[in-house]
Amino acid sequence: MKEENTFRLLLIFIIYMHFEGFLKLFFNYHPIIHTFKYIFAIIFFLTWIIDIKIHKTKISYTLALFSIFVLIQFLNPLMWQGKGILLSVLGLFYQIGYLPLFFIGYKILNKERIKKLMYLIIGLSTISAITAHIQYLIGHPDYLYLMPYKATEFVISHGHVYGPIAFDLIPPVFWYMAGLIFCLNFYFLNKRKNLFSLLGLNLIAAILTSGLRTGMLFSAVAIILFLIFRINQTLTIRNIKKIAILFVFGIIILGFLLTNVLDERQKDRYEILKNPFKAYIEKRGFTWTNTIKLIKNYPLGIGLRHGGETISSINPEKFGIQKSGIWMGDNYFNIVIGELGLIGFFSLIILFYFIIKIGINNYIKINNKEIRVLISSFLSIIIVFMMSSIYGTPNSWMFWLFSPIIVKMPFSPKEGKDYQNKVIEKSIVMINIKNIFKGSIFNSLLKRKKENLFFSIFKKSKTILFFGKGLNLIKNSKIYKIIERIID
């Protein structure tokens, strides 16, 4: 498959993943809708093996290490009962199903394609946000009854606690977050600032009306990380004013929601934030106490169970597999410790560490502003995905697709010609001039000893005086100054 066709397939996959929740609801959770992502995963795997054939990147060894510990779990005797192998295959997809996207992204994503990717995600998240606003204006139940859902009753019974859900059971806050960070990317590059400001405000409003406290928290962290990376651009009087305006805008929306729009159950969710640490311990934090039990009882892991004892509706007992008896919660770190064992967990941490390390190193060593802003946006999103592991599985396809972007940058030398720093260009020109002079007859004459009679005569001759005047004339000429300005 040609690179351009692979990229088109990638864009189609992203569009499908955005509307997957809507399709599930519309087709009343028909099994074929669930299988589409598995079909995409298989196609990406075959594309990687047959066409891409990239096995060596900057983090190939860490990727291989994590993958090995995932595959080893096929030999776990706890999964040899009943249809345990089938459950292990589903668990394999859960852990590394979208891993080929890393190698595909590493191969085909260049500067122009990354821009198209960002535009698509901004567009999809904007559509979802606008739909969510319309839903809020019409009202949650009335809006859902207007939609062609086959499972409207199910959605209302499960989604009434949250804000506008747009195309899924819960608001797609991670889409909003990614779209918002990409809007910031183009804003900081002074590209259609007014347009991306409006789109960004739209996404901020969608995040605040989502009712998802975790999503709002991680969105705020992503914005803060991006601004820290772009600290030199952020700390200007104009930008500080705009940030202050955005902050006030967010407070007004949140205050309006809490006093006028949200129902009592939603208000209770926000009331918990008065003591966030206590709220976390009561709602999710206690799962960390089960981590010790998992390590103690299953140090080598309990096998790939597709999150069956965590957040998935798939029950291991349906496959003839005995439950572990330890609830891991919707905590991806806990799931990895439980399924892959302690060593598998450390391999994941090593993978996370090297992705961040290489991304930051690339950010530091590149001098081009556009590339630095690009790295800042993807790096902030990747770090938030890693942090979100304490609440649930990261948005896996985004993680595997975005990671090669920060690992690969700066781009290859051919692409890098467009981004060379002007200071480097000037130094190259000066070095070339010096090399020409070093190889000239005049330089060889100047190197001769002073005792040489010919050298003394030549030094005092009109020829050398004329040559010196000639250099001064060239240096003071308009042409030389124009060239110097171009280089500068």
pLDDT digits (tens, 9 = 90+) for 259-287: 655 556 566 666 666 666 666 666 666 67
The pLDDT of residue 297 is 86
Q: Residue 114 above 80 pLDDT?
A: yes
Query: In sequence order, which residues have a C-beta less than 8 Å from that of residue 113 and are 6 or more positions away?
Result: 7
> Up-side HSE of residue 121: CA atoms within 13 Å toward CB?
25
Residue 203 binned pLDDT confidence (cut-offs 50, 70, 90): very high
Name the residue among 237, 229, 208 with its Cα closest to residue 220. 208
How far is the C-alpha of 166 from the C-alpha of 265, rounded, in Å? 19
Neighbours of 11 (CB within 10 A): 13
- Whether 422 shows a pLDDT value over 80: the answer reads no
Q: Which of 71, 109, 122 is nearest to 92 (CA)?
A: 71
pLDDT at res. 311: 47
pLDDT at 432: 53
Question: What average pLDDT is seen over the chain?
Answer: 78
Whether the predicted pLDDT of 107 surpasses 80: yes
Distance CA 146, CA 19 (A): 18
Percent above pLDDT 90 for the chain: 30
- What pLDDT score does 164 carry? 75
Which is more confidently placed, 137 or 225? 225
How many whole angstroms separate alpha carbon 258 and alpha carbon 265?
A: 11
Give pLDDT tens digits for 160-170: 666 777 777 77
Is 388's pLDDT higher than 70? yes
Structure tokens at 112: 């122009």
Residues 253/207, Cβ–Cβ less than 8 Å = no
| Residue of higher predicted confidence among 486 and 361 | 361
| Domain segments of the chain as ranges | 3-413, 421-487
8 Å CB contact between 319 and 279? no
Higher pLDDT residue, 331 or 80?
A: 80
Tokens in use for 167?
A: 């195309």
Average pLDDT over residues 68-72: 94
Residue 87 burial (CB count, 10 A): 24
> Residue 463 pLDDT > 60, yes or no?
no
> Comparing 469 with 98, which gets the higher pLDDT?
98
pLDDT at 450: 44
Mean pLDDT for the stretch of residues 358-366: 90
Question: For residue 26, which amino acid is it?
Answer: F
Mean pLDDT value of segment 468-484: 58
Report the pLDDT value the prediction gives residue 425, as an integer from 0 to 100: 44
Confidence of residue 486 (pLDDT cuts 50, 70, 90): very low
Would you say 208 and 132 are in contact if contact means Cβ atoms under 8 Å apart? no
Structure tokens at 477: 């000429």
Look at residue 100 and tell me whether its pLDDT is greater than 80: yes
Per the model's pLDDT, the better-predicted residue between 254 and 172 turns out to be 172
pLDDT at res. 461: 52
pLDDT tier for residue 15 given thresholds of 50, 70 and 90: very high
Residue 247 pLDDT: 75
Statement: residue 315 has pLDDT above 80: no
Mean pLDDT of 208-215: 80
Percentage, residues of the chain above pLDDT 70? 71
